[in-house]
């Protein structure tokens, strides 16, 4: 665990968690103002808690996730301070618990060996574990324009596709293969070995993931105009910095077998400055229905 700086000791626990584990989101939150940043940090704390539980090595992870889901479904059984804190946040900000339950469904899916069949299944999974977070974030940011929710879902999906493109090797070592089988049908065990024969076919698939993410980033960038002005710059910065991960991968010729790539601090600063140009008011077109073609019946769709 990292040592906490003197400054971080003055922060709330949720903000400390955000600063330690969500560096891109913490950087973006600095542009929100303290009240909004605090609500974002509390939402992140809950999402991080269930994600760490799903990916950790504690016994009975699946049972613990089921208990949290039951609490979100109205059970009176307490499920830990992080969950109770989220329940209060949800009540105060009108967060749809259906979105939080779907997030738990995605985490539960990860408790089994993950083998994605096709793009439709990939996008539905991305919606579960990240599109729902975009939907919840809209409520935390007090966005009153309902149109914004579809674009917020797109941002979550785009970011999750970026995560998958960045973490191919790491996920494979955990028995998870999110690359659709109809793109390249290699088992997670073979991808985890990072044999030279797998470098090119998986690199092509990673390139395709990044291109797919770009469709959703472009949509999300349009929809940010629907957010309250106070939070607009922060979300634009988060989008641009996270999207840069995929571009760094492309710039380095997609070396997925070498592990994670990162966006440098100077790049983050430059992208933040460039984000100012996105604040110019633009008319927001209708959301592209094709982007949600495979998501019918899911939260917010």
15 falls in which pLDDT band (50, 70, 90)? confident
Q: Is the pLDDT of residue 7 over 80?
A: no
Domains of the chain with bracketed CATH: 12-292 (1.10.600.10)
pLDDT tens, residue by residue, 152-176: 999 999 999 999 999 999 999 999 9
Average pLDDT over residues 179-204: 97
Q: Which residue has the tokens 């409520």?
A: 139
pLDDT tens, residue by residue, 43-61: 999 999 999 999 988 888 9
This prediction has a pTM of 0.91
Cα–Cα distance measured from residue 27 to residue 242, given in angstroms and rounded to the nearest whole number: 11
pLDDT score at 54: 93
What percent of the chain clears pLDDT 90, i.e. is strictly above it?
80
Cα–Cα distance measured from residue 270 to residue 300, given in angstroms and rounded to the nearest whole number: 33
CA 167 from centroid of its chain's CA atoms: 13
Region label for 277, one of left (φ > 0), alpha (ψ between -120 and 50) or beta (otherwise): alpha
The answer to which of 25-29, 84-88, 155-159, 163-167 has the lowest mean pLDDT is: 25-29
10 falls in which pLDDT band (50, 70, 90)? very low
Cα–Cα distance measured from residue 165 to residue 206, given in angstroms and rounded to the nearest whole number: 5
């Amino acid at each position: 665990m990292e040592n906490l700086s003197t400054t971080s000791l003055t922060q709330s626990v949720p903000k400390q968690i955000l600063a330690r584990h969500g560096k891109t989101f913490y950087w973006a939150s600095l542009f929100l103002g303290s009240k909004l940043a605090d609500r974002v940090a509390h939402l992140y704390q809950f999402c991080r808690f269930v994600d760490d539980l799903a990916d950790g090595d504690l016994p009975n992870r699946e049972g613990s996730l089921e208990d949290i889901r039951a609490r979100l479904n109205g059970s009176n059984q307490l499920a830990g301070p992080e969950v109770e804190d989220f329940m209060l946040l949800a009540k105060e900000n009108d967060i749809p618990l259906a979105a939080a339950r779907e997030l738990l469904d995605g985490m539960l899916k990860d408790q089994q060996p993950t083998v994605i069949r096709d793009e439709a299944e990939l996008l539905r999974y991305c919606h579960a574990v990240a599109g729902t977070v975009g939907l919840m974030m809209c409520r935390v940011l007090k966005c009153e324009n309902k149109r914004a929710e579809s674009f917020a879902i797109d941002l979550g999906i785009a970011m999750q596709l970026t995560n998958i493109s960045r973490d191919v090797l790491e996920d494979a070592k955990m028995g998870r293969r999110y690359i659709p089988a109809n793109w390249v049908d290699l088992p997670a065990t073979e991808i985890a070995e990072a044999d030279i024969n797998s470098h090119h076919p998986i690199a092509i698939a990673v390139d395709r993931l990044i291109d797919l993410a770009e469709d959703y980033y472009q949509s999300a960038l349009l929809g940010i105009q629907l957010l309250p002005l106070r939070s607009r710059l922060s979300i634009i910065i988060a989008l641009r910095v996270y999207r840069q991960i995929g571009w760094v991968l492309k710039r380095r010729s997609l070396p997925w077998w070498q592990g994670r790539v990162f966006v440098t601090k100077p790049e983050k600063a430059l992208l933040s400055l460039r984000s100012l140009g996105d604040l110019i008011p633009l008319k927001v077109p209708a959301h592209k229905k094709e982007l949600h073609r495979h998501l019918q019946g899911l939260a917010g769709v």
